Amino acid sequence: TLNLEKSTVLVDNLLFVTSTKEQQMVEMVDTSDIQRSIYHDTHYQSSVMVRQEGGNVEVEGIVNHNLRIRPLLEAERSQQGQIPHALFEVSLTENVSKPEQELLRPRERSSRDNSDDNWVNSPQSRSSGFQRFPVELHIVSDKAHQEHFKDNTKLISYLAVMMNAVNLRYLDTTNPKIDFLLVGVTRAIDHEFAPIEGRFIDAGEMISGLELYKSQGRILGHHDVVYLITGYDITKWLARGKRYNGIRGRAKLGTICTHRGLSEGEDRPHGYLGVNTFAHELGHTLGAVHDHTPECPWKEGYLMSYEDGGLKKFRLSQCSERSIRQYVRRLSDDCIRVLNAQNYLRNQRKFPGETI
């Protein structure tokens, strides 16, 4: 039995961009219906969407670390008219990539800028004067990922369930409390962020492609960090056509609220298999390195390790929490403040890079 509580993962008016090679179609999506249906259970790390349709209840999402649920809408209903549901297991393949292959350390660390490319002064370290940091996130769903979702609402709903599960991994953070707020989604219909070979895409080339895509003004609106979610298999090309397939994601270390605030990771649509990678890579952007000290050894298997630590896998180690706290305290007030309260289209008629 799940003890479900209401969740908050979406802004009221979410920026949704449908991006093709020819144009970018921009709309603001009222997320109130989706938001009302998102729930979580902290004990089982459950993140589900609960909807009532015609007196019937539909449940979809993550029951626990390897169990998923979805309604069987085309199946025969019960005598009481209830919609049957399928519970199915997923196989979680652990990421075994080497730390240096996944982490990118930006050369320039002395300045910060926000996602609109306006430079701000490098802030000084401060005391814990704020209790919460809602990190504003924009997700780009690439060609191979977005094609599994027939309409925009289904894509937003799926990403909201994932985002909700990511937030459960950050429940223990304090001074400030960290959670992620989905403020924008880009459905990249036909853009390839790097050359594709079969189902494989190179991790380094893909994040470079994401950086170029952002520099061209194609990721719209205000955000603190960008996450590229891919339906391809991330790899690292080696010599003589060989590849290393142990990579699930990549991120730029300590880059929240800078133009380098970029991260990427694999996901298998409808299976929510990319949640841990998602949470792990966002941890890097918040300044957390891998667990590798005597105080927080790799083998303990917390979120910032690739080892399976059981329930620890869904939590940050005390070292990661401390690193994030120290990093966040140096961020500017503009970064900490939620800047997505207003409607973008009301205040800005045209976005940079928008094609009509």
CA–CA distance from 281 to each of 239, 261, 278 (Å)? 27, 11, 5
**Nearest one of 229, 98, 95, 231 to 166, comparing CA atoms:** 229
pLDDT at 14 over 90: yes
What is the number of alpha carbons within 13 Å of residue 53 lying toward its C-beta? 10
**Arithmetic mean of pLDDT over the chain:** 86
pLDDT at 110 over 50: no
Lowest mean pLDDT among 16-20, 73-77, 164-168: 73-77
- For residue 349, count CB atoms less than 10 angstroms from its CB and return exposed for 0-12, middle for 13-18, buried for 19 or more: exposed
pLDDT at 356 over 80: no
Q: What's residue 129's pLDDT?
A: 63
What's the mean pLDDT in 171-199? 95
CA–CA distance from 239 to each of 203, 208, 244, 320 (Å)? 15, 20, 10, 35
Q: 222 labelled as ligand-binding?
A: no
CB atoms near residue 271 (< 10 Å): 14
User: In this predicted model, which residue has the larger pLDDT, 262 or 244?
Assistant: 262
- The two beta strands, 200-202 and 119-120, are unpaired
Residue from 136, 266, 281, 321 carrying the catalytic annotation? 281
Render pLDDT for 251-293 as a digit per residue (tens, 0 to 9). Answer: 999 999 999 999 999 999 999 999 999 999 999 999 999 999 9
Q: What's residue 73's pLDDT?
A: 76
Angle at 286 between CA 285 and CA 291, to 5 degrees: 90
Render pLDDT for 23-33 as a digit per residue (tens, 0 to 9). Answer: 999 999 999 99
Render pLDDT for 39-81 as a digit per residue (tens, 0 to 9). Answer: 999 999 999 999 987 778 899 999 998 899 998 876 666 556 6
Q: What's residue 205's pLDDT?
A: 96
Please enumerate, as own/partner, the contacts of 292-301 that have beta carbons within 8 Å and a separation of 24 or more: 292/99, 293/319, 295/319, 296/320
pLDDT at 100 over 80: no
- The two beta strands, 10-19 and 24-30, are antiparallel
Q: What's residue 80's pLDDT?
A: 64
Q: 138 labelled as ligand-binding?
A: no
In the CATH hierarchy, which fold is given to the domain comprising 99-347? Collagenase (Catalytic Domain) (3.40.390)
Strand arrangement, sheet containing 103-104: 24-30, 10-19, 177-188, 132-141, 225-230, 262-266, 249-252, 103-104
Is residue 193 very low, low, confident or very high in pLDDT (cuts 50, 70, 90)?
very high
Q: What's residue 106's pLDDT?
A: 63
Q: What's residue 2's pLDDT?
A: 87
Render pLDDT for 116-125 as a digit per residue (tens, 0 to 9). Answer: 333 333 333 4
pLDDT at 233 over 80: yes
24 in helix, strand or coil?
strand
Render pLDDT for 194-213 as a digit per residue (tens, 0 to 9). Answer: 999 999 999 999 999 999 99
Q: What's residue 94's pLDDT?
A: 44
Q: Is 281 a catalytic residue?
A: yes
Instruction: Specify which of 62-66, 103-107, 338-342 reaches the highest per-range mean pLDDT.
Output: 62-66
Rounded to an integer, what is the distance from CA 117 to the centroid of its chain? Answer: 21
Look-up: residue for tokens 């630590």? 309
Element (H or E) spanning 109, and its range? none
Q: 259 labelled as ligand-binding?
A: no
